[in-house]
Amino acid sequence: MKQTFTFPADFLWGGSVSANQLEGAYLEDGKGLSIQDVMPNGIMTPPTAEPTDDNMKLIGIDFYHRYKDDIKLLAEMGFKVFRTSIAWSRIFPKGDELEPNEKGLQFYDDLFDECRKYGIEPLVTISHYETPLHLSREYDGWINRKMVGFYERYVRTIFTRYKDKVKYWLTFNEINSILEHPFISGGISTPKDQLTKQELYQAVHHEFVASALAVKIGHEINSNFKIGCMVIAMPIYPLTPDPDDVIRVMEADHQNTFFADVHVRGHYPGYMKRYLRENGITIHFEPGDEEILTHTVDFISFSYYQSSCETADPAKQIKGEGNLIGGVPNPHLKASDWGWQIDPQGLRYIMNAFYDRYQKPLFIVENGLGALDDLITYANGEKTVEDDYRIDYLKQHLIQVAEAIQDGVELMGYATWGCIDLVSATTAQLKKRYGFIYVDRHDDGSGTLERYRKKSFYWYQDVIQTNGGSLFE
Ligand code: BG6
């Protein structure tokens, strides 16, 4: 029998980006340096002392100057939501100033107005891997309690300024990645191998407090704000049914669920208290922290790219490629060109897991395929990319999303990652493309920066227009 399913009437279809991966203009209109400006190779090599010309993010895809045309293209696809981040260092160039940079604020005013012009809801990540460099070098990022105050000032500024333009906010991008990547995620300059667990988990605590404060302040400024946490969702399967593997999965899972648990439940879970105790870690709570943490999020947002496995067998503990946090590869799954294993059913699984655990609305704010694209020219001169592999990937995932909705999961929206080609976070390459829109820029710095609609552009337009119905035709 032919399946007929459409998504909820108010479903927010759209796409996601982050400021540092597409804006460019890294010193324009008073912007200060962010940690991304000294990461020419993403997470592949340690940061450089100064920005270097080989850093693709310094120009990005020049969205800072071309955003009007780009938003128009997203509107043409029928976007209902556009997730981007505010570059903290455009608003507070060093991060510890008392007064914001007006030109930076004006840029986002204009950007959000442009979205609203087409009826597109902005969904704004407050901190997306782009801590001001000064805060990282001078204060060692989130290890330092002072970061809570700097973040609070930044958040008050943007909430107040954009209170009538932005309704949906995310406090920290993929907050659980800090355990694996303290620099990109927490702005922590101390190299990971010199960082103690005590320092790392204290930094996590500071982010929790800052995030809960944002929720509190946001709801005071506009009670209609919807403020969410954002985590990497990565289902972990046992490599075998050996109970030792299953317990290993549970413990690995706890290192992830810890983050959403604190955001949704407002306190540290028991399993984490045990972990901290057994590892000799004492989190310093300042007076008032416990109360602040009770300001819990309105929804849970997450990125989903892949699942992974865990095993207790040391001989099989191989680390696969992955989105910042990876695990043991699954022998049943194929992988992308960059070795990220593809598992559409994992998305249905994790959505159910989250919803069973929290009974709160979910928002998929990243999902997609990073692939090599070939720009071709048709006889009529039109340029495009025939990216059937991307269409297939997204379709398979969306079919599982539909399954999860039928399982009873409450889902606010679906925003694909990198809806327009941009610079990769992990490898800093442009050739790792996710977009529906091709951008003519290459890793050697060449290219016209022209935009071209890929085949997936029209496919997604159809998905949105039929509210998901076309997935089942
Ligand atoms: C997530 C990040 O980790 O995955 C994005 O939030 C990132 O910033 C995305 O770009 C995809 O990763 P990559 O390395 O392929 O760009």
Q: What is the CA radius of gyration of the chain?
A: 21
pLDDT category of residue 327 using cuts at 50, 70 and 90: confident
Task: Give the total number of structural domains in the chain.
Answer: 1
The answer to whether residue 4 sits within a structural domain is: no
The pLDDT tens digits of the residues spanning 338-388 come to 999 999 999 999 999 999 999 999 999 999 999 999 999 999 999 999 999
Nearest to 127 by CA among 167, 73, 91, 80: 91
Distance (Å, whole) CA 320 – CA 343: 14
The reply to whether ligand 1 has any atom less than 6 angstroms from the CB of 114 is no
Report the CATH number at residue 153. Answer: 3.20.20.80
pLDDT at 320: 77
Rounded to the nearest 5°, which phi and psi values hold at 213? Answer: -60, -40
Residue 100 has pLDDT above 90, yes or no: yes
The pLDDT tens digits of the residues spanning 229-265 come to 999 999 999 999 999 999 999 999 999 999 999 999 9
Token representation of residue 35 = 């940690």
Rounded to the nearest whole angstrom, what is the distance from the C-alpha of residue 85 to the centroid of ligand 1?
Answer: 13
- Torsion from C-alpha of 163, 169, 172, 176, nearest 10 degrees: 160
Q: Beta strand pairing status for 383-384 and 376-377? A: antiparallel
Q: Closest residue (by CA) to atom 14 of ligand 1?
A: 426
The answer to whether residue 425 sits within a structural domain is: yes
pLDDT at 199: 98
pLDDT at 304: 98
The reply to whether ligand 1 has any atom less than 6 angstroms from the CB of 425 is yes
Rounded to the nearest whole angstrom, what is the distance from the C-alpha of residue 422 to the centroid of ligand 1?
Answer: 10
The answer to whether residue 390 sits within a structural domain is: yes
The answer to whether residue 2 sits within a structural domain is: no
Token representation of residue 118 = 């087409």
Distance (Å, whole) CA 58 – CA 20: 8
pLDDT at 3: 64
pLDDT category of residue 321 using cuts at 50, 70 and 90: confident
In the chain, the amino acid numbered 136 is S
Confidence (pTM): 0.98
Token representation of residue 63 = 């969205």
Q: Which residue has the tokens 């403020």?
A: 227
Token representation of residue 442 = 């290459």
pLDDT at 350: 98
Residue 410 has pLDDT above 60, yes or no: yes
395 is in which domain, residue-wise?
A: 12-472
**Active site residue: 366, 386, 403, 473, which one?**
366
Distance (Å, whole) CA 136 – CA 203: 12
pLDDT at 318: 81
Residue 2 has pLDDT above 90, yes or no: no
* Residue 366 designated active-site: yes
Among the residue ranges 8-12, 190-194, 322-326, the one predicted with the least confidence is 322-326
Q: Kindly state the DSSP code that residue 232 receives in the 8-state scheme.
A: E
Rounded to the nearest whole angstrom, what is the distance from the C-alpha of residue 425 to the centroid of ligand 1?
Answer: 5
The reply to whether ligand 1 has any atom less than 6 angstroms from the CB of 256 is no
The answer to whether residue 3 sits within a structural domain is: no
In this prediction, residues 468-472 reach a mean pLDDT of 96
Q: Closest residue (by CA) to atom 12 of ligand 1?
A: 425
Distance (Å, whole) CA 203 – CA 142: 5
The pLDDT tens digits of the residues spanning 196-240 come to 999 999 999 999 999 999 999 999 999 999 999 999 999 999 999
The answer to whether residue 398 sits within a structural domain is: yes
Q: Closest residue (by CA) to atom 15 of ligand 1?
A: 424
Question: Mean pLDDT of all residues in the chain?
Answer: 97
Nearest to 304 by CA among 270, 269, 250, 350: 350
State which H helix or E strand residue 116 sits in: helix 102-117
pLDDT at 1: 56
Residue 422 has pLDDT above 80, yes or no: yes
- In three-state secondary structure terms, 266 is coil
pLDDT at 238: 97
Please report, rounded to a whole number, the percentage of residues in the chain having pLDDT higher than 90. 96
The answer to whether residue 431 sits within a structural domain is: yes
Residue 113 has pLDDT above 90, yes or no: yes
